[in-house]
């Protein structure tokens, strides 16, 4: 149950952030799967491709899947959250001043970069 809630929340957050900042897979979903679900880097990357399958990563997904580095259930849940979160995030971003969105994106990138740099 925890995994279902976490995966759905990751997808929703990725959708909102994608709608607000135009980001998702590598910037948000991969680190979130590592942090929240304890996935390895490769499993997180492969599972992120499940969520982003059609538009960007079908061939890469097939390679990760062949190596057993995907979780289709978690990826599907993230994809569903990403789909609906994107609508909310885009509406939010379009209601804000561009400088607020730009600064928010910059701060988010710094935080993710620090976490990845300091992760053991």
Residue ranges of E strands in 1-120: none
With residue 60 as reference, give the H or E element that holds it. Answer: helix 58-66
**What ranges do the domains of the chain cover?**
2-118
| Nearest one of 70, 68, 23 to 51, comparing CA atoms | 70
Please give the full DSSP string across 45-58, using - where no structure is assigned.
Answer: HHHHHHHTIIIIIH
pLDDT value at residue 56 = 57
Dist. CA 62–CA 40, nearest whole Å: 18
Quickly count: other Cβ atoms within 10 Å of residue 9's Cβ. Answer: 16
Q: What is the pLDDT of residues 22-63, one digit of tens each?
A: 676 678 888 899 899 999 888 887 788 787 765 556 777 788
């Amino acid at each position: 149950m925890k995994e279902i809630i976490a995966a759905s929340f990751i997808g929703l957050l990725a959708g909102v952030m994608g709608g607000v900042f135009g980001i998702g897979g590598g910037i948000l979903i991969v680190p979130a799967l590592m942090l929240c679900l304890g996935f390895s880097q490769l499993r997180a990357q492969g599972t992120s491709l499940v969520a982003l399958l059609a538009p960007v990563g079908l061939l890469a997904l097939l390679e990760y899947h062949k190596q057993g580095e995907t979780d289709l259930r978690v990826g599907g849940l993230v994809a569903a959250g990403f789909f609906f979160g994107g609508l909310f995030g885009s509406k939010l971003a379009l209601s804000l001043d561009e400088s607020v969105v730009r600064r928010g994106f910059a701060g988010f990138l710094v935080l993710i970069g620090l976490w990845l740099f300091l992760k053991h």
